[in-house]
Each structure stands twice: as structure tokens, then as C-alpha cells.
Chain A
Amino acid sequence: MAKITYITSDNQTHTVEVQNGLTVMEGAVQNDIPGIDADCGGGMACATCHVYVKDDWFNKIPKKEDGEDDMLDMAFEPKTNSRLSCQIIVSDELDGLEVNIPSKQA
């Protein structure tokens, strides 16, 4: 279980508890947090669950695997701290993680 904070582009903060093993994307979708579309349902095939990970967390969470950066090329306004939230798996170590949701997914 980890407390994860999602910050939408209008600066609304949503903090929810997400079960270990789920993805950060699933945590948002299950809790009706706006701004994460996840069109492809977690298949790393659409780049519509794009988030920015706060800098101090970016290096702590598991690294990107092959293909994630290729998808991020297509995301809306990618930055150096961009991730696909469907590829970040929640664990106790992620307790306190904060992610910013971009103003649009496309």
C-alpha cells in the first residue's frame, strides 16, 4: 500500500491509497482522478497516461524499460521527468509519490 498524490494541471491535489502491484495509472482510474485517459488500458501503446514525476522521486522509482521512451515521444508536452503511469508499479517504497498530470493527454 502506498499513498500517492496526483496533482492535476489546475493544481488540485488528490491523495489516494493504492494497493501494491497496481500501476500508478490504475490508481488514478480506479479513484476517478481526472486527466489520465489510459486509452489502451495499460499496454504501453498510446501515451495517454502520461505524468510528470517530481524530480526527487524520478530517480527513486524503477527505471523506464524498452519502448516507454518511444511512446513518450508521442505524448503531449513530454519533459525530462515524463513517465507513462501504466509502467510505474506501486509498492511500499512508493509511499508519498507525487505525480503531476499534464493539462491534456493529446
Chain B
Amino acid sequence: MKKTDALIIGAGPTGLFTAHQLKLIGLDCEIVDNLDKIGGQCIELYPDKPIYDIPAVPECTGEELTNNLLNQLKPFDIKFHLSERVEEVKKEENNWLVKTSGGNSFLTPNVIIAGGVGSFEPRKFSPKECEKFENKSLFYSVKDKNIFKGKTISIFGGGDSALDWAIELSKESNVNLIHRRDEFRGAQATVDKMHALVKDGKINLFTKYQMANVHGEQTLESIDIKHDNDEIKNLKTEYVLGFFGLIMQLGPIANWGLNLNKKTIEVDTEKFETNQKGIYAVGDICNYPGKLKLILSGFHEGALAARACFKLARPDEKYRFEFTTTSTNLLKRLGKKE
């Protein structure tokens, strides 16, 4: 079990700047994020889209903003736990015991939820029956491509993931590629390559079709796909892969006894604390009268939540407000003074 002064859930811009504020005032922190990379929505949803309303930054992309925030964190040693989702938050005397899907557990007086609109999860097939085969013969990502050797695989989707895997797996497997329309949004070179393989009979392409049903008792035997004109085709298949991108889900946060309002968490505007002492919410996921879902608001909220953390992490010390321009303490922490 790891002990830390504060655990941050979410490595988006708000989580990153909150970490900066915690370290600056002398507290430890660690960050957990369900994505496999740092940056949250900025990286996952709009890495290339310019943002124009970050104070003193006239224009930057989601990716540039993330890189700048990481640069700002360079003086500090912060542990990131990526590809891990926080599953459980439980009270343990004056601390919170936090458990992640990656098997990590943390004991901390402060939990800061900077979770955006929740954690990113793969979008799934709509027929309920698909759940039965999930992670057995139906997957939303490829962990071991060797299991597909010599088998029939039906791949759904129109982006680069679907196309790349269709091309790759067609070398040693029988591949069906199914997409809801004729146009593919993958890179043009990849789309061309796929069409060439279709011509050579290496990939069976079905467009304007979507998943309608799955069949099989213990193991998957076949699937039904439905055309826009309602015609149904049955395909024998041993595996199914679906690539529909990611969606944000509140997930386990809903079970932590917090006051929720739609998909947001109610907080006060002094500490950004929830109805649970020592659990804070900052950034897009928090809600209070006048809340603006802007990155700049997240920075402010994180700065205040960090000060509130100080009281619980250092109950015997008095927090002293200082400026980075003048404080020897802060400059030392920033590595600017011996």
C-alpha cells in the first residue's frame, strides 16, 4: 500500500495543474488515470484542435497544452499510474483507502477527483447478447494477436484501428470487415491498402451493415449483420473485434456516496470539497452555482483544493500563503534555489 498526502484521479489539464499546486506547497501526490497516456480529453478528444482561452496563451493545441503542463511539473517528482481505473474509495479512520483496477492501493487523507466527464471506456456493440462473449471471443482491443491465427474474425469500424487490424490480421486469418457506410475515416493510404486486399480476396468487405446479433452457446459461432435496407446476413465467425472509439463513463465514482447532479459532483466553492470530508472534485466533473466548464476554471479549483488538502495532510502545521516570485521555500521546491 502506498501512502501519499493526496491522490489525484485524472491526468487531464486540471489534474496536472492540481499536482503542481500540491507539490508547490510541499505536499506529495500521485496521479491515477484510466487512459494509457497523460492529457485527458485534451489528448483523447482534441489533440490537434487549437484552444484560444487559456490565460496568457493566445493559441495552443490540446497536445501542446498537455506538454506545457508537463514541463511545468518537471521540478517535481510525481508518480503516474496510467491505464488504471480507481475502483473503490473507502473510509479508513482519518484516511481514504483507494483501490485501482491495476492492483494498486493508496492510503491518503485527500482524494481529488479531476475526472473530466468520467473515465474513457471503449464504446460497445449495442445488442445485449454481445456481453456474453466479451473478452472471450469478442474484444474491443487486441492484446494477443496470435489467438487469431487461422481463424475467422469479423472486424467492425471505419477508423484506423479497424483498418490496421483488418490489414494485419488478413495475413494469417480470414477477415470480414464490416462498416456502417462506404466511406472510411482512416488514413487514405490505409484505406487504399484495405481496398486492394478486398480486390485480392484477402478481406471480405461489408459496408452499410451493422451488428445485429450474435449466436453460439459456449463459444461464438456466427453473427447477424443488418444492412441499411434491413436485409440480414449471417456470417460464420470465431472472433469479433469492435473499434468504435472511446466514450466517457462516470463508472465507479457513482458508488462513492457523493452528491451527484447528472454526471457531475456537487462541491463547495471554498475547498471544492464534496459532501465527503477529504474528497474534492475539480475541473469539468465538479458542479456549483455559476460553474463554467473551462480549463481555466479547473486551474483555479485545483489551486484551492490543494490548499484544503494541506490542512488534512499536515494537521499540526499552519499553511502559509507565499508567492513563487519571492518565497525561498517555493523557489527551493522549484529547484531555482539551493
* Shortest distance between the CB of A19 and any CB in chain B (Å): 20
Which residues of chain B from 92 to 150 have any CB-CB distance to chain A below 8 Å in the complex? 117, 123-124, 126
B157 at the interface (CB under 8 A from A): yes
Stretch at the interface among B26-34, B69-77, B168-176, B240-248: B240-248
* Shortest distance between the CB of B58 and any CB in chain A (Å): 20
**B45 and A74 contacting across the interface, CB-CB below 8 Å:** no
Stretch at the interface among B178-186, B190-198, B265-273, B314-322: B178-186
Q: A48-B247, A70-B185, A106-B249 are in contact. Are A77 and B45 (CB under 8 A)?
A: no
Which residues of chain A from 53 to 106 have any CB-CB distance to chain B below 8 Å in the complex? 69-70, 73-74, 76-80, 104-106
Number of residues on chain A facing chain B (CB within 8 A):
21
B263 at the interface (CB under 8 A from A): yes
Taking a contact as CB atoms closer than 8 A, the residue among B124, B180, B185, B249 that contacts A78 in the complex is B180
Contacts of B183 in A (CB 8 A): 69
B46 at the interface (CB under 8 A from A): yes
**B126 and A76 contacting across the interface, CB-CB below 8 Å:** yes
Contacts of A79 in B (CB 8 A): 228
Q: A73-B157, A80-B228 are in contact. Are A43 and B244 (CB under 8 A)?
A: no
**A43 and B46 contacting across the interface, CB-CB below 8 Å:** yes
Residues 216-256 of chain B, each 1 if its beta carbon lies under 8 Å from chain A, else 0? 00000000000010000000000000001101110000000
Q: A69-B183, A106-B123 are in contact. Are A45 and B228 (CB under 8 A)?
A: no
**A69 and B181 contacting across the interface, CB-CB below 8 Å:** yes
Q: A41-B293, A46-B248 are in contact. Are A77 and B41 (CB under 8 A)?
A: no
B49 at the interface (CB under 8 A from A): yes
**B180 and A73 contacting across the interface, CB-CB below 8 Å:** yes
**A39 and B181 contacting across the interface, CB-CB below 8 Å:** no
**B244 and A74 contacting across the interface, CB-CB below 8 Å:** yes
* Shortest distance between the CB of A72 and any CB in chain B (Å): 8
Taking a contact as CB atoms closer than 8 A, the residue among A43, A77, A78, A106 that contacts B247 in the complex is A106
Taking a contact as CB atoms closer than 8 A, the residue among B126, B157, B158, B228 that contacts A77 in the complex is B126
A selection of 22 A-B contacts at a CB cut-off of 8 Å is A39-B117, A39-B247, A39-B263, A40-B45, A43-B46, A43-B49, A45-B49, A46-B247, A46-B248, A47-B245, A47-B247, A73-B157, A73-B179, A73-B181, A73-B244, A74-B244, A77-B126, A78-B180, A80-B228, A106-B123, A106-B247, A106-B249
B residues apposed to A, CB below 8 Å: 41, 45-46, 49, 117, 123-124, 126, 157-159, 179-181, 183, 185, 210, 228, 244-245, 247-249, 263, 293
